[in-house]
Amino acid sequence: MSAAQFQQILPGLSRWRSGLEGAQHPVNSYLWKRGKDVVLIDPASDLTPVALGEQQVTDILITHLQEENAAGCMNFTGVRIHVPAGDEDLCQGAAAYETLVTPWPPPWTWETRGNYRGHVAGARNERPLRQAVRLAEPLQPGPLMLSCEIVATPGHGKNAVTILARIGGERVAFCGDLIYGDGQLWNWFDAEWDYGLESGQRALRQSALRLKESGATLLCPTHGPVVRAPRAALDRLCARLGPILDPVDEPFDAVPFTVADEPSPAPGFRRLLPALHQYARTPGNCNVLVSASGHALMVDDGLCEWIPISERDKHHRKVIAEMKASLGIRRIEIVIPTHYHGDHLENIRDLVAMEGCEVVCLDAVAEVIEHPERFNLACPLPWYGTNHATVKIDRWIRSGTRLRWREFELEIFHLGGQTYYHAGIDVRIGGKRVLFVGDAMGAPTPACEPVLCYNDGDPVTRGWLYAVERMIEREPEVLVCGHAVAVRQPMALLLRKRSAWKKRIEQFRALCPRADLRQWFDPFS
């Protein structure tokens, strides 16, 4: 490396643009000379003392802790390293970071499926330093000894800060990944703190408004060009976020589409069609197809009864026994999980022990269920704190496979949606074309659902829009969804939902500086 790789921005301020390859590069690192002190901000791993020649770094400041903009710390020994308060856990090395990933804690309410230290519902949503470093005083909001001001600007990082300093006659803001260029964002997934509440993106918007009022005349972000018209760029960023975070949805009456409750002989269930019954206790997941011979096939088995673990199998056995007796079921022969989420899987192992049934699954879903440790995905079975971490799949099936069971023929196909690892099931029941779509349809409205990046859910090629397209292709007459939802005559709804999603994709494209939108959503690239 040579000093020629530094680009001067102002007298006393230069930018180093990392020469590394990868989804998170190039990174901007900054060299700030203030008298005898030399300060580095967000050093990439290829920034070394050799590049600085005889200049001796005194302090390193990190705007937000992600490995790509902090790994250069390890190249400078004896330097004071300052990270935002709250990010210290991310500087203790990879092994220490793993201890932050904990199961869903009781009382297991949906409201607690949110923001955790180091993970979102079990998926590691931070990029910590691989090795531990020794830290100096953390960056706290307020003045700092280096004649700069620290402003809390969370969003792209849970504890992210902006460092404000007077340099070369400008009020310079080192703002991390709060903004990219003229009102865009480096990625969407670094603001995914929780499971669908979008609190990270909302915090980022508030941070942008706060920074706009800071008096900054120059923004130095971690990615992309230096921003020389901060107020206008931040205004554009907030304007682009607005329709996504606060959409104005057209009036829509969901009642005609929602399948009316028809009592089932089975307690806790409702009858959707003569041979089809759905567990009706929200938010449970259990659908039962009964053959003329009295045998049954189930789609998903997660009652979502968040009682102590030791009591769940007992409760499940009671529900299944009552269902079998009420519907005259001789035996449950097959169970098909739609996707890998623990709230759709939890009771399958107990069902197999009770019935000796076969577990049949789309191959892409089966691998995640049997080997969740190979994937960094939100809401796997182990995260639910159950006394088992996997379900054994008896038969892996490729997309498009037709399965003959009793008088029914089912096609199991790749669906995507809330997660890429999601199957659909296409079957005629009582003369109607029925699709089992699990969580690929959130609610019977055309509104766009939040993108869940840590479900591997890029909406165009793997997620919500992709799934809507697959449903429309099949022209269903009934959708059997997850969490006690069913939709009748859904084509008008699906067409409106597709239109809404295409509009939403254009809104995302306005925010995305990448040629490939998937990379913007994909934390695994």
The 3-state secondary structure of 166-178, one letter per residue: EECCEEEEEEECC
Tokens standing for residue 112: 């607690």
Instruction: Answer whether residue 252 shows pLDDT above 90.
Output: no
Q: What is the mean pLDDT of the chain?
A: 94
Is the previous residue joined to 103 through a cis bond, with omega within 30 degrees of 0?
no
* Nearest CA-CA partner of 363 in 327, 345, 339, 379: 339
pLDDT tier for residue 35 given thresholds of 50, 70 and 90: confident
Please state the pTM of the whole predicted model.
0.95
d(C-alpha 204, C-alpha 162), whole Å: 12
Q: Average pLDDT of 206-230?
A: 97
444-463 residue pLDDT tens:
889 999 999 999 999 999 99
- Segments making up each domain of the chain, as ranges: 3-242, 269-521
Q: Average pLDDT of 396-412?
A: 98
Is the Cα torsion angle 448, 450, 451, 452 positive or negative in sign? negative
Three-state DSSP class for 99? coil
* Domain 3-242, CATH number (from 3.40.50.300, 1.10.730.10, 3.30.470.10, 3.60.15.10): 3.60.15.10
d(C-alpha 75, C-alpha 43), whole Å: 9
Class of 269-521 per CATH? alpha beta
Write out the E strands in 50-176: 59-61, 80-82, 115-116, 119-120, 123-124, 142-144, 148-152, 161-167, 170-176
* Nearest CA-CA partner of 400 in 390, 387, 414, 386: 414
- For the ranges 306-310, 398-402, 460-464, the lowest mean pLDDT is seen at 306-310
Angle (CA) 245 161 24, round 5°: 75
pLDDT tier for residue 258 given thresholds of 50, 70 and 90: low
Q: At what angle do helices 464-474 and 491-511 cross, to 10 degrees?
A: 150
353 contacts: CB under 8 Å, gap ≥ 6: none
d(C-alpha 99, C-alpha 353), whole Å: 33
pLDDT of residue 255: 62
- Neighbouring-strand partners of residue 31: 14, 40
d(C-alpha 178, C-alpha 208), whole Å: 7
Three-state DSSP class for 330? coil
pLDDT of residue 260: 66
Tokens standing for residue 73: 């710390």
pLDDT tier for residue 3 given thresholds of 50, 70 and 90: very low
- Compute the residue count for the chain: 525
Tokens standing for residue 468: 């809507």
Can you give 148-160 as a three-state secondary structure string?
A: EEEEECCCCCCCC
Is the Cα torsion angle 391, 396, 402, 407 positive or negative in sign? negative
Give, for 103, the enclosing helix (H) or strand (E).
Answer: none
Identical fold for domains 3-242 and 269-521, yes or no, is: yes
154-209 residue pLDDT tens:
999 999 999 999 999 999 999 999 999 999 999 999 999 999 999 999 999 999 99
* Nearest CA-CA partner of 285 in 275, 300, 270, 307: 300
Pairing outcome for strands 59-61 and 37-41: parallel
pLDDT of residue 256: 56
Angle (CA) 286 290 292, round 5°: 180
Q: What values do phi and psi take at 261, rounded to 5?
A: -65, 125
Q: How far apart are the first and last CA of the chain?
A: 27
CA 491 from chain center: how many Å? 28
pLDDT above 70 coverage of the chain, percent: 98
Three-state DSSP class for 396? strand
Instruction: Answer whether residue 253 shows pLDDT above 80.
Output: no
321-357 residue pLDDT tens:
999 999 999 999 999 999 999 999 999 999 999 999 9
Pairing outcome for strands 478-481 and 432-438: parallel
DSSP code, position 127: -
pLDDT tier for residue 54 given thresholds of 50, 70 and 90: confident
Tokens standing for residue 111: 């409201």
Q: Average pLDDT of 355-360?
A: 98
